[in-house]
Amino acid sequence: MNIQADLVCVGAGIAGLVAGLRAAELGLKVIVFEKGEDSSYPCNSRFSFGVLHAAHRDLKLPIKELELAMHQSMGEFSNHELISTVAANSGRMIEWLQRHGVKFIRNPARQWVFAPAKPLTSKLLWKGMGPDYVLRTLGLQLKHFGGELIYGTRVIKLFHSDDGACSGVEVVSNNQAMRIDTKFVVIADGGFQANSNLVGKYITSRHDLLFPRHAGSGLGDGIEMALTSGAHMVGLNSFYGHLLSVDAFKSKELWPYPQIDSIASSGILVDFKGNRRLDEGKGGIYLANGVARLEMGTAMVICDNLIWENAGKQHQIPPNPLLELHGATMYRDETIEKLAIKSGLPPFALVNTVNNYNEAVKSGLCEKLEPMRSTSIRPSQISHPPFFAIPVCAGITNTSGGISIDSNARVLSKNGVPIPGLYAAGATIGGLDGGVNSGYIGGLVKAVFGLKAAENASFSK
């Protein structure tokens, strides 16, 4: 059976629905294919906390201010063109979403949060919460504008005409394959975090030790299809994620929160020989990427009572007291030596590590430490008992790298030329997040490229 559409979206997370709805609104015949089976399909957008931000800033800041914040947060890694596109379009995306019935609340950081806001609990709750409501609203709006949202259907292949332009997709539903002819395809499958082969190939051979802090829906079909079409990939080796208690593998109360990032980046993170291995000052996402690549895939965060009482309570879903409340493994003692014995670390090595670290903090020589300790997050001496040791793992939320696109969300080939008719949006794109410092601009905001894809397709129809 052959079906025809003007534009097909691969995936109905926020990026795919934004692309599909905008294209339908502009008069294109749209089909959004979603491999999830029904209207409650799991995806990262639905599991998210629902904070729309760019580099944690208000999306309605003046364009230049937003652009600067993203540059400061990303350093040299991010593609300037993509940063400018996010800065120039994210404010209007908020207004566009509001026009389509999406409701927001503003949090204390003036960020836009999907309403109704999620409760501040550690375990995953999504039913009836803001992100769930947003996906359902966008799905209904898509239908209202004549588009289709088809569940239980996985896009597995792209077709191109002789001149290289997109000409269709192959989908599978109930074990039946079907071809859909279309001029435009928007890949919005959400990344490859749930594909252990791809994670093993690009990120870490110890993928079995990564905690899946995600919906399990990002299988990497998008990058695989784009690669077959000759697309260029950027920064596939890093991910957005956080440090979690190792007991997240056993307890639903210990993921997706509390993140242990703030404690690790105020104290130290050591391997099981008691040695520092990473620059804690680069923050939790960087540390999660680093822990994922350690031989053991896990590490121990060491802090003192001051850090536990201050940094430990900073986050709105804080590790102090939630870790203890939910039974996470934690060790506590009055001296570093006794703490080491209790937690199974070599006492001599840990005492040595903590002493060297404290000395460097006291004398302002953190850059001389090996590895160096940068100071954009202020280091504190570990000197106020009791001391704490918390075994942590790396939780992967979504992959940071992916398909290379231009400012109109057009997929770029290895020669840097757009592949006609092929677009990508959302977490499947590369060039914004990642790099050596594992920078993070934001996940939901990458739906901006859904708007751009739809508008460019409509213009070139």
Ligand X SMILES: Cc1cc2nc3c(=O)[nH]c(=O)nc-3n(C[C@H](O)[C@H](O)[C@H](O)COP(=O)(O)OP(=O)(O)OC[C@H]3O[C@@H](n4cnc5c(N)ncnc54)[C@H](O)[C@@H]3O)c2cc1C
- Answer yes or no whether residue 188 interacts with ligand X by CB under 6 A: yes
- Answer yes or no whether residue 11 interacts with ligand X by CB under 6 A: yes
- Give 22 or 213: the residue with its C-beta nearer to ligand X: 213
For 275, the 3-state DSSP assignment is coil
HSE-CB at 231 with a 13 A cutoff on CA atoms is 33
Residues 148 to 177: which contact ligand X by CB under 6 A? 154-155
Strands in 175-246 per DSSP E: 176-187, 211-212, 233-234, 239-245
Contact pattern from residue 279 through residue 308 relative to ligand X, giving x for each residue in contact according to CB under 6 A and a dash for the rest: ------------------------------
- Answer yes or no whether residue 427 interacts with ligand X by CB under 6 A: yes
DSSP 115-180: SSPPPS-SB---TTSHHHHHHHHHHHHHHHTT-EEE-S-EEEEEEE-TTS-EEEEEEEETTEEEEE
HSE-CB at 107 with a 13 A cutoff on CA atoms is 21
Shortest distance (Å) from residue 113 CB to ligand X: 8
For ligand X, the binding residue among 6, 20, 25, 44 (CB under 6 A) is 44
Shortest distance (Å) from residue 42 CB to ligand X: 7
- Give 292 or 345: the residue with its C-beta nearer to ligand X: 292
Contacts for 374-380: CB closer than 8 Å, 24+ residues apart: 374/279, 374/281, 374/282, 375/281, 376/281, 376/282, 377/265, 377/266, 377/280, 377/281, 377/282, 377/283, 378/266, 379/266, 379/280, 379/281, 380/266, 380/267, 380/304, 380/306, 380/307
- Give 379 or 430: the residue with its C-beta nearer to ligand X: 430
Q: Residue 168 corresponds to which tokens in the numbers above? A: 């269709």
Shortest distance (Å) from residue 50 CB to ligand X: 5
Residues 210 to 229: which contact ligand X by CB under 6 A? 213-214, 217-219, 221
Contact pattern from residue 383 through residue 422 relative to ligand X, giving x for each residue in contact according to CB under 6 A and a dash for the rest: --------------xx------------------------
CA proximity to 156, closest of 221, 219, 216, 218: 221
- Answer yes or no whether residue 235 interacts with ligand X by CB under 6 A: no
- Answer yes or no whether residue 202 interacts with ligand X by CB under 6 A: no
- Answer yes or no whether residue 51 interacts with ligand X by CB under 6 A: yes
For ligand X, the binding residue among 19, 22, 25, 34 (CB under 6 A) is 34
- Answer yes or no whether residue 259 interacts with ligand X by CB under 6 A: no
- Give 44 or 141: the residue with its C-beta nearer to ligand X: 44
Q: Residue 121 corresponds to which tokens in the numbers above? A: 């609990």
CA proximity to 34, closest of 136, 140, 149: 149
Chain residues that interact with ligand X, rule: CB under 6 A: 10-16, 33-36, 41, 43-45, 47-51, 154-155, 188-190, 213-214, 217-219, 221, 256, 397-398, 426-427, 442-445
